A and B are shown apart, each in its own frame.
Chain A
Amino acid sequence: MGENKNDIIINIEHLSKSFGDNQVLKDISLYIRKGEFVTLLGPSGCGKTTLLRMIAGFLQPDEGRIMMEWGDRGGKVEFRDVAGIPPHQRPLNTVFQRYALFPHLDVYDNIAFGLKLKGVPKDEIDTRVRKVLKLVSMSDYEDRDVDSLSGGQQQRVAIARAIVNKPKVLLLDEPLAALDLKMRQDMQIELKEMHQKLGITFIYVTHDQGEALTLSDTIAVMNEGKIQQIGTPTDIYNEPVNSFVADFIGESNILNGTMIRDREVSFIGHDFPCVDEGFGENVPVDVVIRPEDVVIGTAIDGAQFTGKVKSCAFKGVHYEMYVDTDSGNELQIQDYDAYEPGTMVEMKINPDDIQVMKKERTENVLDCEIIDETHIEMLGEEFECSTIPAGADGPAKAHIQFSKVDLWDHVDDGVTSGEVWFILYKGDHYHLTVKTESGEYLYVDTDDIWDKGDLAGISIQPGDIIVEAGNGQEK
């Protein structure tokens, strides 16, 4: 990104926040430039709304600080740590998720609310309210009761109420979430136009990746309280840094692979030339292939692998097909031509279209406590374990391979239990993130189909827990 530090209007430094035992934000750092359209994107519970509420001043950070541009002094921009400054003194306005229009005031008085508080003269309020009503195409509605408006109209009033105050920064908390699809698409275009016209900095929170890609100058993808990736929509779509981002943004095939050497990667049982370097030799990696990047045909030049079409559905512009490859993996493929189920097809992938990512982890590593020669305490429960080194004692690390964790339909069948938190399909198996009762995350490879939010019993064979004794030398 072309950085120009003078452009920065908000600088978020090492922000952390917990509610009780639940840490919702972990060391967030992010800067926002003047006039930028920044989107905080992530699934529910990722901390994006908490971050927005902290910027607005409704929540105070536990650690870290938010620096905000606080006016010019003799040409020199002054920044201030806004900790402790209440919302009503901050130079920003918010469009709330469910609009929060005041039900006892009509459209005009809702919009004039902020201006009246500031003591703006009556005729100026009048001109400004009318101007902003025109901007959101609601000119004839000023006397209407807000309850009599449709969702889309309430949305417009909520935006008008915020921008009439000419804030430096406009915060938008999932503003389109309550609208239907068509309305949402129309409002997206209007929001984008409004942003360009007003020149105000927009900080936008959403879980809708399509919305984020359409609207933003910069996207910050968040998950589990951390920023996973910051970049332009194109960067994030084409170069996701990890499997979470790849899966969350757009459709993708995420596959286990091995980096054989620079510019050569092996996955789905074949070796492919690619453009990535510097991973080392024979290193396990995640490989992301966008469905539209697989070249498919009944006979193509330079085919790299073959397969059989399993299903084919028309999606308006393209066809979406699932193909079983010769090595038994399933690939999602989009193409303008349809291939009937059962057709044998040839495929290839251009080196540019193979996105190789370092694996975030290759096995589970958990803190544990050795109880006796055959038992350890882990995930808040007692597990039987047959790999404890003789004489080992006290705290240790337990290594468990993803495929060695057993999940059970019945919670009681496991030693402990957990909730399926996140699911990644890897072409021939699922990679699950399971949040255990103790609040820790366990990563599981399985062939079984689970749904997000399912409760599962968890157990591990005594021989599959590899205990590495030591006094936490890893830390």
Chain B
Amino acid sequence: MGKRSNWALPYFIFLVLFVALPLLLIVLYALRDGSGGFTLSNITRFFSDGDALNTFAVSIEVAIENTLICLLLGYPAAYILANKDLNKSAVTAILFILPMWVNALMRTLATAELFNVFGFTLGKGTLIFGMVYDYLPFMIYPIYNVLLKMDKSYGEAAADLGATPSEVFRKITLPLSKPGIFSGILMVFMPTVSTFAISEFLTNNKIKLFGTIIQENINSSMWNYGAALSFIMLVIIGLTTILLGGEDREVEGGTL
């Protein structure tokens, strides 16, 4: 062992304390009943809990809608930002990323206040609006990065071989920007499934998301069931990451 490996020690300790240990605790709590005995009932309870299943379905639906809207809005934005003919200044790109520098909770509170001022009824519409507003930069940035680094000669080569501008986009630009798209989807979909603050502020808890019921359980000291729900969510997030993740490896600088 070289001395250099010692440098990793602080990080290793950090990982154990703040990543591995909490995960282990979640699993432990999820597999125990109130008196400390081993049980699977917390897990099975979820699959028979109609409310929880419903909330879960709503969460996934909202997350899918949010991700789709972010993608539809974010891709063209990223495309325009990365195109030097359309956008001559790097400042514009920063302006799009700028909202991420403001705390998400503050932004959400401010958005809720705006809806109140203009008399919008809080509900699904406002929820989706808030989510898109919060997560759009996470979709734009990885796609922007991939498009910016894409060699322009691919598009030229395709045009040279007879592709119209729209064919160049469909057959070259879009497939080559897939790593950015997957990265963006991951960065938007994952957090939307588990968020609870946005639904709390922007729907006054009219719409409950999966994150909301975890938070409610934990808040009312139902640690074991809450842990089980967290565990289930982790598994789902893990599976999605693996499904999309294979392609994601190629992304350079896809994260923030």
Contacts and interface: CB of A to CB of B under 8 A. Distances in A.
Given A102-B172, A104-B175, A165 B162 contact: yes
B156 interface: yes
A212 to B, nearest CB: 23
B156 A117 contact: no
A114 B159 contact: no
Interface size class of B (residues with CB under 8 A): 10 to 19
A122 interface: no
A149 B176 CA distance: 19
A103 interface: yes
B161 A113 contact: yes
A88 B162 contact: yes
Contacts of A93: 160-161
B157 A88 contact: no
A100 B159 contact: no
Contact of A118 (B158, B160, B162, B172): B162
Contact of A100 (B153, B162, B164, B178): B153
A96 B159 contact: no
Nearest to B175: A104
A290 interface: no
Interface string A131-164: 0000000000000000000000000000001100
Given A98-B153, A102-B154, A117-B167, A87 B160 contact: yes
B164 to A, nearest CB: 6
B248 to A, nearest CB: 15
B156 A100 contact: yes
A420 interface: no
Nearest to B153: A100
B63 to A, nearest CB: 28
A88 B154 contact: no
B23 interface: no
Contact of B161 (A57, A104, A117): A117
A86 interface: yes
Contacts of A58: 156, 159
A97 B152 CA distance: 12
B163 A117 contact: yes
Most buried by B among A57, A96, A100: A100
A96 B156 contact: yes
Nearest to A118: B162
Interface string B119-135: 00000000000000000
B156 A88 contact: no
Interface in A84-115: 86-88, 92-94, 96-98, 100-104, 113-114
B151 interface: yes
A56 B160 contact: yes
Contacts of B167: 117
Interface in A49-107: 56-58, 86-88, 92-94, 96-98, 100-104
Given A97-B153, A102-B154, 14 more contacts: A58-B156, A58-B159, A88-B159, A88-B161, A92-B160, A96-B157, A100-B151, A100-B154, A113-B158, A113-B161, A113-B171, A114-B162, A161-B161, A165-B162
24 contacts: A58-B156, A86-B165, A87-B160, A88-B160, A88-B162, A88-B164, A93-B161, A97-B153, A98-B151, A100-B151, A100-B156, A100-B157, A101-B157, A102-B154, A102-B157, A103-B176, A104-B176, A104-B178, A113-B158, A113-B171, A117-B167, A161-B161, A162-B161, A165-B161
